[in-house]
């Protein structure tokens, strides 16, 4: 089968023909992929920026961790799934043996394996997943939109870490898919103002508006961001900033618009260290938190919303491409002319 793979620790991806996976192990399922999204982290892997060195010992590996598909084969000990079920899967699986896993914090497991990063992913006709990572979707769920559940869950988790409450003013730095997902989550929690900030980002800012942002600011216009945000927020700095840019400089940008005692959550993956004014952070009692990946509860909430109200999520998908056009898809993501690119292997 054709597969989009990372084969070496250098920029680019390779389109290879590889063996189809045969039978799943006893606790696994074999999934025929319906749709798989190109994630911001896939683009980092494509460019081979810093922060993905952990993949090096796992290469070659098929990319693709945001996906939906139908189960075509079931391992002997799997229960709760049938052939033909439409599913998505949480890409990271914990070992369930280490002290974190046994102690009830499997999301902190240091031995996690991630579909599409450390083991073969969904940019191919078939992918194998542990059944405990899979989430069965309502049969009527749109499979292309179902590939958005992973980034939407990441956004929901970031909003949880930020503890967004009704009435809050939230600034979202970065209007990409994770930023759009954070906007959805902030809206669901009743944030009264959601201000999204981009840089030369007209088309993605428009999508961010469609997803619930109340205001957008494009920094390409060389404006005073703090003044603009105070203008929007009745002269005040904001309650919460969530960063989804991956640009280290955005940490200081976020702190500059955050109120005393406010919370800044970093959700981007940064290839260089950030430098920011720590004295000002201390004197203003500001909090910085990191949010990574997601929890199963977010997946369940989003899968339910997506099956009941699919139209809400349609603006997030820009184009669908076949696997052979994957490189074009990566390039389109890099230029930010599109938001989410979905690959359809079949």
Q: Tell me which residues touch Zn ion (CB under 5 A).
A: 39, 66, 94-95, 98, 101, 109, 111
Q: Which is nearer to Zn ion, 151 or 345 (CB)?
A: 151
Q: Which is nearer to Zn ion, 128 or 148 (CB)?
A: 148
User: Shortest distance, CB of residue 83 to Zn ion, whole angstroms?
Assistant: 27
Contact 245, 268 (CB under 8 A): yes
Q: Which is nearer to Zn ion, 74 or 109 (CB)?
A: 109
Q: Which is nearer to Zn ion, 72 or 98 (CB)?
A: 98
Q: Which is nearer to Zn ion, 113 or 287 (CB)?
A: 113
User: Shortest distance, CB of residue 168 to Zn ion, whole angstroms?
Assistant: 26
Contact 294, 90 (CB under 8 A): yes
Q: Which is nearer to Zn ion, 268 or 345 (CB)?
A: 268
Q: Which is nearer to Zn ion, 39 or 171 (CB)?
A: 39
User: Shortest distance, CB of residue 86 to Zn ion, whole angstroms?
Assistant: 20
Characterize the bridge pairing of strands 193-198 and 126-130: unpaired
Cα separation, 88 vs 86, in Å, equals 7
**248, 228, 234, 249 alpha-carbon torsion, rounded to 10°:** 10
Cα separation, 6 vs 330, in Å, equals 13
Q: Say if residue 71 is preceded by a cis peptide, omega within 30 of 0.
A: no
Cα separation, 228 vs 30, in Å, equals 51
User: Shortest distance, CB of residue 94 to Zn ion, whole angstroms?
Assistant: 5
Q: Which is nearer to Zn ion, 114 or 131 (CB)?
A: 114
User: Shortest distance, CB of residue 44 to Zn ion, whole angstroms?
Assistant: 10
- Cα–chain center distance at 226: 27
Cα separation, 340 vs 260, in Å, equals 35
User: Shortest distance, CB of residue 341 to Zn ion, whole angstroms?
Assistant: 12
* 232, HSE (Cβ side, Cα atoms, 13 Å): 22
User: Shortest distance, CB of residue 226 to Zn ion, whole angstroms?
Assistant: 31
Which pair of structure tokens corresponds to residue 113? 């394996």
Cα separation, 303 vs 107, in Å, equals 20
Rg (CA), the chain: 20
User: Shortest distance, CB of residue 81 to Zn ion, whole angstroms?
Assistant: 23
Characterize the bridge pairing of strands 193-198 and 215-218: parallel
Of 37, 282, 231, the closest CA to residue 153 belongs to: 37
The total of other beta-carbon atoms located within 10 Å of residue 143's CB is 19
Cα separation, 7 vs 13, in Å, equals 7
Q: How far is CA 244 from CA 46, 111, 158, 194, in A?
A: 19, 25, 10, 14
User: Shortest distance, CB of residue 188 to Zn ion, whole angstroms?
Assistant: 20
Cα separation, 175 vs 182, in Å, equals 9
Q: Which is nearer to Zn ion, 91 or 198 (CB)?
A: 91
């Amino acid at each position: 089968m054709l597969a989009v793979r990372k084969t070496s620790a250098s920029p680019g991806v390779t389109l290879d023909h590889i063996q189809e996976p045969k039978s799943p192990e006893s606790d696994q399922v074999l999934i025929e992929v319906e749709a798989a999204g190109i994630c911001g982290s896939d683009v980092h892997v494509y460019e081979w920026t810093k922060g993905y060195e952990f993949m090096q010992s796992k290469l070659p590996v098929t990319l693709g961790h945001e996906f939906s598909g139908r189960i075509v084969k079931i391992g002997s000990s799997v229960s709760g799934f049938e052939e033909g079920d439409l599913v998505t899967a949480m890409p990271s699986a914990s070992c369930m043996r280490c002290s974190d896993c046994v102690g009830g914090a499997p999301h902190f497991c240091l031995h996690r394996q991630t579909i599409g990063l450390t083991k073969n992913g969904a940019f191919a006709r078939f992918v194998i997943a542990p059944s405990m990572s899979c989430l069965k979707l309502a049969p009527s769920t749109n499979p292309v939109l179902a590939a958005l559940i992973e980034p939407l869950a990441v956004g929901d988790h970031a909003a949880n870490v930020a503890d967004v409450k009704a009435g809050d003013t939230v600034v979202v730095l970065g209007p990409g898919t994770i930023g759009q997902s954070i906007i959805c989550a902030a809206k669901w929690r009743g944030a009264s103002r959601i201000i999204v900030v981009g840089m030369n980002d007209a088309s993605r800012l428009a999508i961010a508006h469609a997803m619930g942002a109340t205001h957008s600011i494009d920094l390409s216009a060389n404006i005073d961001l703090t003044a603009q945000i105070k203008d929007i927020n009745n002269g005040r700095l904001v309650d919460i900033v969530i960063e989804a840019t991956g640009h280290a400089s955005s940490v200081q940008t976020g702190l500059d618009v955050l109120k005393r005692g406010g919370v800044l959550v970093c959700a981007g993956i940064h290839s260089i260290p950030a430098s920011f004014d720590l004295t000002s952070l201390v004197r203003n009692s500001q909090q910085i938190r990191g949010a990574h990946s997601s929890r199963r509860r977010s997946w369940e909430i989003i899968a339910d919303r997506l099956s009941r109200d699919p139209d809400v999520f349609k603006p997030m998908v820009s184009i669908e491409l076949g696997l052979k056009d994957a490189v074009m898809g990566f390039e389109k993501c890099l230029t930010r002319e599109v938001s989410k690119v979905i690959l359809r292997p079949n």
